[in-house]
Every structure is written in C-alpha cells, then in structure tokens.
Amino acid sequence: MADFTFSRLAVRLAFGVLLTTAATGCDLLEFSPNDTRAPASERDLTRKNLTALAQRPVPTGGDTLRFVFTSDSQRYYDDVPPLVASINQQRGLAMVLVGGDISDFGLAREMRWVNDEFKKLNVPYFTVVGNHDLAQNGREAYQRIFGPLNYTFTYAGTRFILVNTNGREYEFNGHVPDVPWLQQQLADTVGVRRQVVMAHVPPEDGDFDAAVTPAYTSTLEQAPRLVLHLTGHNDKFSVRQPVPERVTYISGYSVAQRNYLLLTLWGRHQYKLETISY
Amino acid sequence: MKPYRIRRMRHTATLLAGLLLGGWSATAQSTDAPTPRPWYVPDHAVLQTGGGIGMLTTGAGYSPSRHPHRFDADVLVGYVPARYTGHRAFAIFTAKATYSPFSVQLAERWRLLPLSVGGLVNYTPAAQINRNSADKYGYRGYYWWTTTLRAGAFLGSRVALSLPRATGGKREVSLYYELGTNDLYLVSYLPNRSGLSLGQILTLGVGAKVDL
C-alpha cells in the first residue's frame, strides 16, 4: 500500500515537472514578438486588479485616500524593482496608478516584464495606455494584457477616469481622446465625492490632438468634482492650476527619474502631494 | 477574405509545392553517379514552429557543404493565426542562416550536431503593426526602430537520421531546436541586466529538416 502511494506520488511529481516544462516551453515558443499570447494569469490585469481593489477596505479609513502616481516605465527595467520596494514601504496606500508607456516597443513581453515586478506590489495597480504601448501591435497587446484603453472605477468615494489621449497614434483623427465619453464619466456622480483623471499625453503637448484640446480642457474645467488630472509622457514634474478652485494638472515623474508622487486626498478638493525618491 | 488574396495565396502554394516536388523529382532521377542538380533546386525542406517567425513556418534551403558539419541557408514563410495577433493573421517572411561546426556520430545512422549558431532577419507585412512614419514622432528621434523588420540570433542543437535513398546515396532527416532572441529584446536586456534575466528574453523554436 505504501509502495502504491509512493509510486502515485512519484507519478504526480513527474507529471507536475512535465507540465511545468511544457508550460515554460509553450511560453518560450514565441510565434512573433508582435503576438499577443500570454498565460491566463497575465491577461486582463485591469479587471483582476479592480476585483482585488473592490475586496480591500480603504486602508486609511474615513474620508482619506492615499495612492502613488508613477509613469513611463518603458525599458527602465533596472529601476522598477527599487520602485516597487519603496512603494511597498508606504503605509495606508490604496493603489498605484501608472501613467502609461509601460512598454517601449508596444510588445506583449515588455508589458509582462513590467507586470512581473508590479505584481509584487502590496496593492493593486492601474495603468493608462501610453503612445509607446500603441507602437507595433501594442494596441492589441495592451488590451489583451491590461484591458480597455478608456475605463473608469470608483473607490472610497473617488471616481478614477483613465483616458487614452495619444492622439498622434491615431493620426490626429479628432476622436482621441474621446471627449463625449469623458463628459459622460464626469457627469455620472452617483456616490462620487471627487474625481481624478489620469491620461498619458498632457493636453498642452504636441502629441495631443490640438483639434480636441479646447473641448477636452473645457470639459475638465467644467467638472466641479474633478480634483486632479495626472499625466506622464514628458518626464517633467509640474503642478499647475490654471483656474482657481478647479482642477490641478500634475505631470509626474518617470520611473527612470527615481522619484514618484505620493498623493493623499480628503474632503472635496483637499490633497497633499509628496515626492518620494528611491 | 478578398478573392484576389485567396488567388494570390493559391498561387504561392502552387509555386511552393512545385518547388518542393521539383526537388524530389530531381533527386529521384539521380543514379549512382548523381547528376548535378540545377542550382535553384533546394537541398532541403524545413518545417518549424516558434522562434518568433511563425506558429507554422515552412520553407526550403541550401546546404553548400553537408558533411561532417553543415551550413544551412533557408528561406521561410511563417503563419500566425488571428487568435494570437488580436486582429488579423500575420505572414512572416524570414531569411535564416545556421552553422553547425561539430558532428558527433551517435550510432550507425544517427548523428548529433551539438551546437548550431545562427542569425535571421524577418519581415512582417501586417497593416496592424503600427508603422513608424516620419510624420509621427520622427522629430524627436522617437520610434527609432523598424516595426516590421526584425533581426534575431540563436543557439541550438540538432539530431539527424541518415536514410538510404531508393536511388542510392543518403538523405538526412533532422530535428532541431533553437534558443534565441531578437534585436528589440536584446536592447531591452543589455542596459537592464539586473532588472531582466536572460531567460526572460529567450524564445524557443523547434523544427525539422528533410534533405531533398
């Protein structure tokens, strides 16, 4: 009987090793760098992170919400593990927002390399698509690995709206960013105390569709609950508030700059901004 | 699919089949003193999966010196179905060179080529691969790489079985694997050798070659 059990264990072990080898082999067996294949655990990451977030009570409790904003991890893989280690030391953190350009070449493997590190975060993370994520076959790869290019979610009374602003990637066709969609999301304020918009290309940038800029910025300025507009793309930290008492535009640090922003929101429009070096 | 594309594909298939059959018939006609084959008849046919050049990849090649080692120059066409591209199927055209400097006789008809080194360039003419047109980010030196042309390098091994031909002489049937990478993975890895491991940039290709 003992022999039987042992042999069954051995068979199971051998089978396990075989399966692992086969899975690794299948993963290595790349059809094209532009293919969008990924194991199930590395697909639909946005949806999975949203599920994880929904199950987490607000760590700071009460009205306060704290999150990290980082951006442009593109091809700076050496800088990502220290970033993750530093973020994991922050207390009361609800989530991490990544302002796009996760990849450099728009390849699925690059997005998976970054996720290999970001999945070690103690909190869920959410990305918005960057222009580099749309290079090559990136539009398909991003949607497969992460999810929608425009999406929204509400947590701790705060509505996060993540919008694709990479107009140049669409030959400035007048539809990116999707302003009607943005207006709809900003207008839906049921159970929402405040709003945060995150995009990759800032509206004043040359890679933003200039034909859409006026409609986009006036939509933002007319949203009374919008507190912050976060962008990446140009690796230049800046904070500006063109209209008093309205939205604050924050351009964040790239991963390679070895800084990230720690944001704490409370009340209707109050926020605290800290720069953390790592 | 538009009719003209189907016609074009059929035409390509006929051409390929003709080329392969041409190779077979040319060898079938050879006698004990083999008549030299026309230069354009390939020396071997290839079937491969993976390696970044297709899910199903086929083609033909030349081996100027066969024994004791081999140098193979192959031309391949690969196919990646739409379910793995997110949109439309890819065709990938590849030119590939492989050199195997050592040969170990394993048994009477079996030999091992323990090391193969090679390089390839491939072209993926897919509209969905966003091209780096100058009107995009050219002004910033952005997108400095080509999107549809890739270069790659690989190391591998090969095991070959020698079979007698009905007309005399021998033909080799071989199986091979290749572990490789491409230019974009390499430029990702080189400046990030602590953030990325070599294993993360590797691709695997597995294939068979049959001497014609």
Tens-digit pLDDT profile for residues A50-64: 999 999 999 988 889
* Contact residues on chain B for A207, CB-CB shorter than 8 A: 137
Reported ipTM exceeds the 0.85 cut? yes
From the list A148, A215, A160, the residue with the least C-alpha distance to A185 is A160
* Lowest-pLDDT choice from A199-203, A240-244, B133-137, B170-174: B133-137
> Which pLDDT does position A14 carry in this prediction?
73
pTM of the model: 0.87
Q: What is the mean pLDDT of residues B180-208?
A: 96
Q: Is the peptide bond before A203 cis (omega within 30 degrees of 0)?
A: no
Query: pLDDT tens digit string along A33-49?
Result: 999 999 999 999 999 99
Closest Cα partner for B94 from B63, B132, B131, B60? B60
How far, in Å, CA of A94 to CA of B166, rounded? Answer: 73
For residue B50, list chain A residues with Cβ-Cβ distance below 8 A: 28-31
A252-264, pLDDT tens digit by residue? 999 999 999 999 9
Which residues in chain B are closer than 8 Å to A29, comparing Cβ atoms?
A: 49-50, 203-206
Test B130 with A107 for CB contact under 8 angstroms: no
Q: Cβ separation of A104 and B188 shorter than 8 Å?
A: yes
Residue keyed to tokens 């290999």: A116
Is-contact A96 A123, C-beta < 8 A? yes
Indicate the pLDDT class of residue B147, thresholds 50, 70 and 90: confident
pLDDT tens sequence across B12-54: 444 444 444 444 444 444 444 556 678 889 999 999 999 999 9
Work out the average pLDDT over A96-119. Answer: 97
Rounded Cα–Cα distance for residues A114 and A121 (Å):
12
For residue A157, CA distances in Å to A196, B120, B203 come to: 11, 54, 45
The distance of A29 to chain B (nearest Cα, Å) reads 5
E-strand spans in chain A? 65-70, 95-98, 125-127, 151-155, 158-163, 194-199, 226-231, 238-240, 248-251, 259-266, 270-277
Specify the amino acid at residue A236: K
For chain B, percent of residues with pLDDT exceeding 90: 62
Query: Which of the residue ranges A132-136, A207-211, A242-246, B20-24 would you say has the lowest mean pLDDT?
Result: B20-24
Q: Write down the pLDDT at residue A270.
A: 94
Task: Identify the residue among A136, A169, A258 best suited for mutation to test binding to B, counting B beta carbons within 10 A and taking the highest.
Answer: A136
For B:4-43, CB contacts with A below 8 A are none
Q: What is the pLDDT of residue B149?
A: 93
Q: pLDDT class for B2, splitting at 50, 70, 90?
A: very low
Question: Could you tell me how many residues make up chain B?
Answer: 212
B184 touches chain A (CB under 8 A): yes
Cα–Cα distance for residue pair A247/A240, rounded to 1 Å: 9
Give residue B140's pLDDT. 58
Alpha-carbon distance B20 to A20, whole Å?
Answer: 38
With beta carbons under 8 A apart, name residues in chain A contacting B147.
135-136
Residues 145-174 of B with CB under 8 A from A: 145, 147, 150
Question: What pLDDT is recorded for position A13?
Answer: 72
Confidence category of residue B165, pLDDT binned at 50, 70, 90: confident
Question: Does residue A224 carry a pLDDT above 50?
Answer: yes
Instruction: Answer with the residue of higher pLDDT: A208 or B65.
Output: A208
Which residues from A are below 8 Å from B when comparing CB atoms? Answer: 25, 28-37, 75-81, 104-107, 109-110, 113, 116-117, 131, 134-141, 143-144, 168-169, 171, 207
Select the residue from B79, B133, B185 to test the A interface by mutation, using most A Cβ atoms within 10 A: B185
Q: Which of A33, A116, A141 sits opposite B52 (nearest CB)?
A: A33
Nearest to B203 among A28, A143, A169 (CB): A28
Contact A36 B202 (CB under 8 A): no
Where is average pLDDT lowest: A72-76, A84-88, B10-14?
B10-14
H or E element that contains A219: helix A213-221
- Nearest residue on chain B to A206, alpha-carbon basis: B137
**Mean pLDDT to the nearest integer, A77-103:** 97
Q: What is the mean pLDDT of residues B66-91?
A: 91
Contacts of B102 (CB under 8 A, 6+ apart): B69, B113, B114, B115
Q: Which of A20-29, A93-102, A207-216, A257-266 has the lowest mean pLDDT?
A: A20-29
pLDDT at residue B141, as a whole number = 61
